[in-house]
Amino acid sequence: MIFITSLIVCFGSLIVFPIVFLFNDLSIIFTILYTILIFFASLAIFCLLIIILLPILGNYFAKTYHPKDQKRWNFMVDVARFSCFWLGICVKIEGLEKLDENKTLVFYSNHQSYIDPLIYYTVLHKIPHGTMYKESISKFQLASGMAKALGGVSINRSDDRSAMKSIIQIIKEINNGVNFFIFPEGTRSRGIGMHHFKAGSFKIMHKTNAKLVLCAIDGSYRKRLSIPFLYTPVYIKIVEVMTSEECLQSSTKELASFFELRVKEAIEGIRKEHKHMKISNKMLRKFILQQQKEDVF
């Protein structure tokens, strides 16, 4: 409701208030300025409403944990649609028909930006899922409550014992029919490159009967370089769907190496197929500098 209401109120103000102001004999310049001010004020109110509701509802839903509760999922999808639309993100997805909504699914994807989870909430709105997230997110009140409420599990990669407990918890959730989303890089790439996939995240596929869904996302890293409302195309491709039996035929290290190459190939294909996704010289120079500090390829 927040997303639809924001569209009605914000765009409605662009139609109603110019008429009202002109009837009050205000100049065209003042009419335009007042209308723009009201538009942004209306949008700011909705943003503030979300900032207030997210931690309150998130903490409430987390206490009454039920990952398949449609109300909490609908709320999060609504927030995601609001965020992506007003940020100017236009998502195009390929291969969605490969997914069977009646099966338990474990999604794996590269990770380019902080906005990636919200983008996936919008395109996978018919498939409620929890997310594996970094331990540091637990300290971020705006996101932590809702992440837990949707069945998400935090992981501390610097502590092997703690990380293993998190993996076991995720396996239990999946075996109980909860769909899950994992970013096997462990962190954002923040650019055109990728970090290597961590083999440990694929242990899950050796312990569940869920289907693995390999995704590739490209373009979301551009959003942090641009202002809100500016059109930012993001492409998502469902690269591959595999059964747990197929995953068992390979070790976790083999799965990690194979899947990161498949995602890399898919991203390169997106950039070749769509001209506006072409890598600029500026992005390339930034990537070269990043390679000197991080293990990206």
Lowest mean pLDDT among 2-16, 69-83, 128-142, 240-254: 128-142
Assign 226 a pLDDT band (cuts: 50, 70, 90).
low
Percent of the chain with pLDDT over 70: 96
| Per-residue pLDDT, 1 | 86
CA distance 188 to 96: 24
CB 35, CB 141: distance < 8 Å:
no
Query: Average pLDDT in the 253-259 region?
Result: 96
**End position of a domain, from candidates 11, 27, 47:** 47
| Per-residue pLDDT, 22 | 62
User: Is residue 84 assigned to a domain?
Assistant: no
Residue 77: both structure tokens together: 């999808």
Q: Are residues 128 and 249 in the same domain?
A: yes
Q: Are residues 280 and 189 in the same domain?
A: yes
What 3-state DSSP class applies to 271?
A: helix
Structural domain boundaries, residue 261: 91-291
Q: What is the pTM of this model?
A: 0.92
Query: Average pLDDT in the 113-139 region?
Result: 90
How many separate helices (H) and strands (E) can be counted in the chain? Answer: 9, 7
Query: Average pLDDT in the 23-51 region?
Result: 85
User: Is residue 20 assigned to a domain?
Assistant: yes
User: Is residue 222 assigned to a domain?
Assistant: yes
CA distance 278 to 271: 5
User: Is residue 67 assigned to a domain?
Assistant: no
CA distance 216 to 235: 8
Assign 26 a pLDDT band (cuts: 50, 70, 90).
low
Assign 265 a pLDDT band (cuts: 50, 70, 90).
very high
User: Is residue 170 assigned to a domain?
Assistant: yes
**Higher confidence at residue 130 or residue 226?**
130
For the cut 80, the answer to whether the pLDDT of residue 246 exceeds it is: yes
CA distance 50 to 65: 21
Kindly report the number of other CB atoms within 10 A of residue 96's CB atom: 13
Q: Which of 252, 179, 181, 238 is nearest to 209 (CA)?
A: 179
Q: What's the first-to-final CA gap in the chain, in angstroms? A: 41
What does the pLDDT look like over 44-55, one tens digit per residue?
A: 999 999 999 999
Query: Average pLDDT in the 3-10 region?
Result: 94
**End position of a domain, from candidates 12, 29, 47:** 47
Question: What amino acid is encoded at 240 in this protein?
Answer: E
User: Is residue 109 assigned to a domain?
Assistant: yes
Question: Residue-wise over 212-249: b if at least 16 C-beta within 10 A, else e?
Answer: bbbbbbbbbbbbeeeeeeeebbbbbbbbbbbebeebee
User: Is residue 175 assigned to a domain?
Assistant: yes
CA distance 72 to 63: 12
Assign 155 a pLDDT band (cuts: 50, 70, 90).
confident
What does the pLDDT look like over 163-210, one tens digit per residue?
A: 888 889 999 999 999 999 999 998 899 999 999 999 999 999 999 999
Query: Average pLDDT in the 288-292 region?
Result: 90
Q: Are residues 14 and 123 in the same domain?
A: no
Q: Are residues 143 and 32 in the same domain?
A: no
Question: What amino acid is encoded at 131 in this protein?
Answer: T
CB 135, CB 47: distance < 8 Å:
no
User: Is residue 61 assigned to a domain?
Assistant: no
What are the CA-CA distances from residue 225 to residues 43, 191, 232 (Å)?
A: 21, 10, 10
Q: Are residues 98 and 212 in the same domain?
A: yes
Backbone angles phi, psi at 126, to 5 degrees: -90, -5
Assign 156 a pLDDT band (cuts: 50, 70, 90).
confident
Query: Average pLDDT in the 87-115 region?
Result: 95
| Per-residue pLDDT, 248 | 93
For the cut 90, the answer to whether the pLDDT of residue 149 exceeds it is: no
Q: Are residues 19 and 143 in the same domain?
A: no
Q: What is the mean pLDDT of the chain?
A: 90
Query: Average pLDDT in the 120-133 region?
Result: 94
Q: What residues contact residue 163 under an 8 Å CB cut-off, 6+ apart?
A: 155, 156, 157, 200
Q: Are residues 153 and 236 in the same domain?
A: yes
Q: Are residues 11 and 95 in the same domain?
A: no
Residue 132: both structure tokens together: 């594996």
Longest dimension (CA), the chain: 76
Q: Are residues 162 and 108 in the same domain?
A: yes
| Per-residue pLDDT, 119 | 97
Query: Average pLDDT in the 252-269 region?
Result: 96
Q: Are residues 161 and 241 in the same domain?
A: yes
Q: Are residues 29 and 165 in the same domain?
A: no
- Bridge partners of 105, per DSSP, are 211
Overall number of domains in the chain: 2
Residue 16: both structure tokens together: 């109603």
Residue 63: both structure tokens together: 């206490």
269: number of CA atoms within 13 Å, CB side? 13
Query: How would you classify the pairing of strands 129-134 and 211-218?
Result: unpaired
Q: Are residues 35 and 171 in the same domain?
A: no
